[in-house]
Structure 1
């Protein structure tokens, strides 16, 4: 009888231990998120002055008053609430991009520039837009919003824009306004 009771207790203890062992799960990521709201940024940077270099040469300088990092979201992004000023350097030539607001989506490599967007290339071509997208993967600039594009002496108004990053094949879409043609 004593053996039977000992045997029963051992079985109960083993069953309880196995239940506890298999009911545990690895939720380290969830534990890390405790105290962090998904609506709040995981990081905040102020007075940014970032220099990007490659092979000892400065390639870009990013300036912004504030950046919010939402890398904790399912669709992560970085938000520049007070706009950006980006200087790009290529072969000793400088181009400047300015906007009132910017957002970078890291999963899609799309940069969305909004509010008084102005791009000035090293050859003094200037693009003005209210919203402009840059696809980092294809290095393509585009918008379907109204734009003004100044190239040389010409100022072209339109309702869209497509170009590669160097503006070597820039195209203003749905041109509006007075156009001067050389014969």
Structure 2
């Protein structure tokens, strides 16, 4: 139909996508621009101008994920977040990374790259991070340092 295989099949602006489970919003994805590559053998959506992702637990407590760029793969339910990735939990714990993955099906956040995680008064440095979307079991992997911050 005149569309190159290397071009997006569609472009959307001002995205506000809500994921629901049993009528309850579990995630809300916001982005200024999305490129739709669903015409590929391995379909994906690319968010070239970054994303803001809100994740809600059963008590409607919100965790916020922000990144400069993201790509969401339909077949694997993975979102690859890149560039100045920051997660702020409902308790104000904050994770900083250059790349994180969010598994939408398993509701799991992870990376094997360097991270900084401010938890309470501690800034924890490490190589890798694992957590469920509610951060009830957040863990910095291969801890390389901990600094206790004064208030």
Secondary structure of 2:6's match?
Answer: coil
Return the structure number with greater relative CO, CA threshold 8 A, min gap 6: 2
Q: In the alignment, what sits opposite 2:4?
A: 37
TM-score (norm 1): 0.73
Structure 2 counterpart SS, 1:146: strand
Structure 1 unaligned blocks of 5 or more? 1-33
Per the normalisation by structure 2, the TM-score is 0.87
Question: 2:17 pairs with 50, 60, 84, which one?
Answer: 50
1:164 aligns with 2:139: no
What do residues 104-158 of structure 1 show as CA deviations (whole Å, max 9, x unaligned)?
0111111100001111111212111000011222222111111011111111011
Given the alignment, which residue of 45, 57, 68 partners 2:35?
A: 68
How far apart, in 2, do the equivalents of 1:147 and 1:130 lie? 8
Q: CA RMSD in A?
A: 1.9
Q: What is the number of residues matched between the two proteins?
A: 147
Paired position in structure 2 for 1:98: 66
| Residue 112 (structure 1) aligned to one of 63, 76, 80 | 80
Give the structure with higher Rg (CA): 1
Given candidates 26, 30, 53, the residue that maps to 1:86 is 53
